[in-house]
Amino acid sequence: MTGAGSFISFEGIDGSGKSTQARLLAETLRNRGHDVVLTREPGGSPGAEEIRRLVLEGDPDRWSAETEILLFTAARRDHLEKTILPALAAGKIVITDRFADSTRLYQGITRGDLRGIVDRLHAMMIGREPDLTFVIDMDPGLGLARALARRGTEERFESFGEDLQVRMRAGFLSLAEEFRNRCVVIDGARPIEVVAGDVAAVVHARLDADLIA
Ligand code: ADP
Ligand code: TYD
């Protein structure tokens, strides 16, 4: 099969290597002749990139968890309408660095149990899951060290610290169980090329088996 219209997401704690692996997978698939759109959340369309600045910069207490759910979902809706759905309709492979699983965790469990609200809003406004999700798993201390080494202006979530990372890691592993038909857990604490090799092997196997279009 061609892989046309496949939707792949990367999830995991900050610093786990999602952006690196999303970029490498895009390169690998392009080299194989696929038409690939590489995108990210929050962001991925001009409107959603504006919302990204609102949610990632400034005081960690700037927004309540509920307001954040609305902002991330608004950004995702715009990303879906303007970038993801048109690309899938044109037969492209879309690779996104984070999608709705991030909201299920970051807004759903970190400040009380708001998962129900996240899910209801998702069903109403998004209603689409990736065909394949890579959960890049690793020790939270390592992820945080990598994320802090790369430190920029987008610190709102990273400044929540290692305790949050520990809960996030457990949360991502449990989401991978919950959505086991689309999620594959990858050990991210290995050299970049080794992780990329595992990711590419899964995608090639699925494309060859016609499982993600
Ligand atoms: P994320 O998108 O999950 O936050 P990044 O891909 O931005 O993670 O990686 C965070 C930092 O760690 C970057 O500086 C990147 O070069 C580095 N990095 C990514 N993957 C690995 C790896 N497997 N081993 C060592 N360093 C890595
Ligand atoms: P990202 O740029 O992927 O950061 P990193 O490369 O450090 O993983 O995402 C920025 C932050 O946004 C990250 O800390 C997770 C957070 N986030 C949410 O809280 N909810 C969401 O729905 C998404 C997509 C991201």
- CATH number reported for the structural domain that contains residue 178 in this entry: 3.40.50.300
Number of compact structural domains in the chain? 1
Maximum C-alpha span of the chain: 48
DSSP code for 111: T
Tell me how far the alpha carbon of residue 20 lies from the centroid of ligand 1, in angstroms: 6
Least confidently predicted of 33-37, 70-74, 111-115: 111-115
The mean per-residue pLDDT over the stretch 3-7 comes to 83
Q: 146: domain range?
A: 6-208
166, two tokens? 């520990």
Which residue, by CA, sits nearest to atom 12 of ligand 1?
146
The predicted pLDDT at position 148 comes to 80
Q: Would you report the helix, strand and coil content of the chain in percent, each value rounded to 5?
A: 55, 15, 30
Residue 1 falls inside a structural domain: no
Q: Is residue 180 part of a domain?
A: yes
Position 129 in a domain: yes
Cα radius of gyration (the chain): 16
Ligand 2 and 172: CB distance under 6 A: no
Q: State if residue 103 touches ligand 2 by the CB under 6 angstroms criterion.
A: yes
Q: Which residues contact 197 (CB under 8 A, 6 or more apart)?
A: none
Rounded mean pLDDT of 141-150?
A: 84
What pLDDT does 1 receive? Answer: 39
pLDDT at 3 over 80: no
Compute CA distances 213 → 4, 32, 42, 93, 110, whole Å. 6, 16, 24, 9, 33
Cβ neighbour number for residue 54 with a 10 Å cutoff: 16
Instruction: Identify the residue whose C-alpha is closest to ligand 1 atom 16.
Output: 20
- Global pTM value: 0.94
Percent of the chain past pLDDT 70, that is, above it, reads 92
Asked whether residue 213 is domain-assigned, the answer is no
Q: Which ligand is nearest to the CA of 199?
A: 1
Q: Which amino acid is at 94?
A: V
* pLDDT at residue 153, rounded to an integer: 60
Q: Is 200 in the pocket of ligand 2 (CB under 6 A)?
A: no
- Whether residue 184 is contained in a domain is answered as yes
Q: With contact defined as beta carbons under 8 Å apart, do 122 and 103 qualify?
A: yes
Measured from the CA of 158, which atom of ligand 2 is nearest? Answer: 14
Nearest to 100 by CA among 182, 38, 5, 36: 182
Q: Averaged over 54-76, what is the pLDDT?
A: 94
Closest residue (by CA) to atom 11 of ligand 1?
A: 146
- pLDDT for res 160: 60
Domain assignment present for 170: yes
pLDDT digits (tens, 9 = 90+) for 17-31: 999 999 999 999 999
Torsional class of 4: left (φ above 0), alpha (ψ -120 to 50), beta (otherwise): beta
Q: Which residues line ligand 1 (CB under 6 A)?
A: 12, 14-20, 146-147, 150, 188, 191-192, 195
Tell me the one-letter amino acid at 185.
Answer: V
Between 1-5, 57-61, 68-72, the lowest mean confidence (pLDDT) is in: 1-5
